[in-house]
Structure 1
Amino acid sequence: MEKEWLFGKTLGELAEVAASFGMPRFTATQIAAWIYRKGALSIDEMTNISLKNRRALEERYQVGRIPSAAVQQSADGTKKYLFPTLRDRFVESAYIPDGQRATLCVSSQSGCRMGCRFCMTARQGFAHNLTAGEILNQIRSIPESAQLTNVVYMGMGEPLDNADNVLRSLEILTADWGYAWSPTRITLSTVGVIPAMRTFLEKTKVHLAVSLHNPFAAERLEMMPVQNRYPIEEVVKELKKWDFSHQRRISFEYIMFRGINDSDRHVAALVRLLAGLKCRINLIRFHAIPDAPMQSPDETTLVRFRDALTRRGITTTIRASRGEDIQAACGLLSTREREKREAGSGQRPTGNAK
């Protein structure tokens, strides 16, 4: 049976491990230093822990970490990494270099249960949550790990549908005993899972991005079934209770669809919805996925939409498209890998969940 990972455990969880073997409490701090600061890949490397205690740990635990299974590179330098999970599935991470900035987009789930109509990951259906270790493994196990300036939880899955493991990974990323990253280097994206979003805002100082995509309830419901459970009006109402005037930033992601959400009435509705909230909107070109009828509007429409919002007092930007030649939008590479393996084993592919 696979041994449990130490990688991905918080300092408190490592203290519980040490206590279960009767080891001194400071052993947890030593283990954390080895696996997070020093990058140890084996328990045997932890030379300031006694040999007896190392052997005891090795009976039940391993450090953990999984190398990527494949990588695709775009002409613009973007890379998409494919990682196997501990449950024999696959997730993707997108590495995006941009001048002095290097961002990694990480996944938090294999598949997703949110069902957004425009998302390839949603077609997979939900498989399982990633552990904190599997989330951090994506950051630590790419060759560009040391060059990363930013991480966004914006890959496969809904991060706040896996809130416990995501919060553990954020604690490790930002704690002094972990990777000691500033929270301002991290952004979490959500469709608006209100109870978990509230906990996230209470427990972290990480930036928040909300997937909005349409300000009209009925139209958003057509695109995003989660609107039924967590209406965007209620999400925004909750956010208006919080202070975003200091270092923490709130933004809204708005994928543009030609003839669907790109009109003047959508501009007016966005202004009404977000009135009184210090925020920005990121406009995103839709990257086509197989068998999806939606298309991105032309550049003129994007610029007109951006300028109309900016004139009405909402800072709005158009996000540069990256990695289109490798289809960097999440879900495509992992879907193909799973279907390839299922075809090879004689199983019927099940990747078109509705």
Structure 2
Amino acid sequence: MVRKPLIGMTLGELESVAAEAGLRRFAAKQIARRLYVNRSQSVSEMTELPKASREWLEEHYCVGLQAPIAEARSTDGTVKYLFATRGEGFDFLDGGAGGRDVEAVYIPDRERATLCVSSQAGCRMGCRFCMTGRQGFHGNLTAAGIINQVMAIPESRTLTNIVFMGMGEPMDNIEEVLKAVEVLTAPWGLAWSPKRITVSSIGKLDGLRRLLDETKVHVAISVHSPFKQEREDLMPVEKAFPVAGVMGVMKNYDFAHQRRLSAEYIMWRGVNDDLRHADALARLLKGVDCRVNLIRFHAIPGFDHVTADTETMERFRDRLNELGVTATIRTSRGEDIEAACGMLSGKEGAVEKEGVANC
């Protein structure tokens, strides 16, 4: 029996569901409250709805919460969760072959508790240094599949931040990402401040413009080199979306007040880590209120670059700061469980383990 998940639905979509079930429009808010505030596990718990309507809903819809099928714990406290993209009678993937799993990473850090979520199974962007890109594209996650990562982990209620920096390019799945952000931030949903959410992109401009125009979340752009040919060698998308053009578009948006723009910059020894690169990066960001996150590279098979050393990264950071660009070195987390930046890959055909809740 095929039933559609209710989690991930916007209020407008829930109003349509309520109408289908013969309910009045206000019932959509009752359903939303059960989903996103009470965290109901089944339609049968929605006792404010008439019994006949609950029975009809149970026939055609399910809550859709699906617990992780596996986890790996790092010595630094990071936890990597593996999620199946298929549940009992439904699929969290849209437009793909299906059958692929996705990963989300929980990162506790003093008073912060961040969840790094995936938006796709695999990725089309083909960045040479990324394990996700190496596996190709296997489908877009639905909003239900994205929200499930947030709601189904044990630490869900204590999260302070969400970053769309897991598997996939969020702008390549913009419709479902926008729906997920709406669920996360709307007063009828999880009611998060958009200041607690960051969405990362390689700079795919059509989706990026929509994200900037329709939300107030923070944005991170993957740069990795200020020089066109170098970036193209690392990131083939430079041909379609030159980073200089992306930053030109960013100048049209206000990043000085309610939202923040970051440039993500992985550093490789002898490749992009000298002061010439720092000077060029500062020129690239001129006129844009943007901070830079310098990131250590986490080795993957088949890519022979190695990370820059700490002294070089500190010198690069200090040069940017001298030039008026705020730069910090990001702490590496979860490398021992392949949960660090660029290491997420998922796996095929994960087996459901005992006790996993479906639908």
Kindly indicate whether residue 277 of structure 2 is the aligned counterpart of residue 266 of structure 1.
yes
Contact 1:109 1:162 in 2 (8 A): yes
List per-residue Cα deviations over 1:72-108 (Å, max 9, x = no partner). Answer: 1111101110111023211011110000111000000
The separation in 1 between residues aligned to 2:242 and 2:112, in whole angstroms, is: 34
1:73-222 aligned within 5 A: 73-86=73-86, 87-222=98-233
1:25-64 aligned within 5 A: 25-64=25-64
Deviation at residue 23 of structure 1 after TM alignment: 1.6
Amino acid at match of 1:260: V
Runs of 4+ in structure 1 off by over 6 angstroms are: none
Count of aligned pairs between the two proteins: 340
Match among 225, 235, 243 for residue 232 of structure 1? 243
Kindly indicate whether residue 274 of structure 2 is the aligned counterpart of residue 275 of structure 1.
no
The separation in 1 between residues aligned to 2:317 and 2:307, in whole angstroms, is: 14
Amino acid at match of 2:113: A
List per-residue Cα deviations over 1:160-215 (Å, max 9, x = no partner). Answer: 10000000000000000000000000000000011111110011000000000001
The separation in 2 between residues aligned to 1:291 and 1:186, in whole angstroms, is: 33
List per-residue Cα deviations over 1:283-327 (Å, max 9, x = no partner). Answer: 000000112101001111010000000000000000001112112
CA gap of 1:159–1:179, structure 2 versus 1, over 3 A, is: same
- The TM-score with structure 1 as length reference comes to 0.94
Contact 2:135 2:345 in 1 (8 A): no
Question: Could you say which structure has the greater relative contact order, defined with CA pairs below 8 angstroms and 6 or more residues apart?
Answer: 2
CA gap of 1:229–1:10, structure 2 versus 1, over 3 A, is: same
State the secondary structure of the residue aligned to 1:102. Answer: strand
List per-residue Cα deviations over 1:35-63 (Å, max 9, x = no partner). Answer: 11100011100000000111111121111
Contact 2:22 2:53 in 1 (8 A): no
State the secondary structure of the residue aligned to 1:152. Answer: strand
The alignment-based identity, stated in percent, is 55
CA gap of 1:196–1:340, structure 2 versus 1, over 3 A, is: closer
The separation in 1 between residues aligned to 2:273 and 2:345, in whole angstroms, is: 30
Identify the residue that residue 17 of structure 1 maps to in structure 2: 17
Across the aligned residues of Structure 1 and Structure 2, the Cα RMSD in angstroms comes to 1.3
The separation in 1 between residues aligned to 2:309 and 2:341, in whole angstroms, is: 23
State the secondary structure of the residue aligned to 2:7. Answer: coil
Kindly indicate whether residue 260 of structure 2 is the aligned counterpart of residue 252 of structure 1.
no
The separation in 2 between residues aligned to 1:81 and 1:186, in whole angstroms, is: 19
The separation in 2 between residues aligned to 1:253 and 1:175, in whole angstroms, is: 28
The structure richer in helix per residue is 1
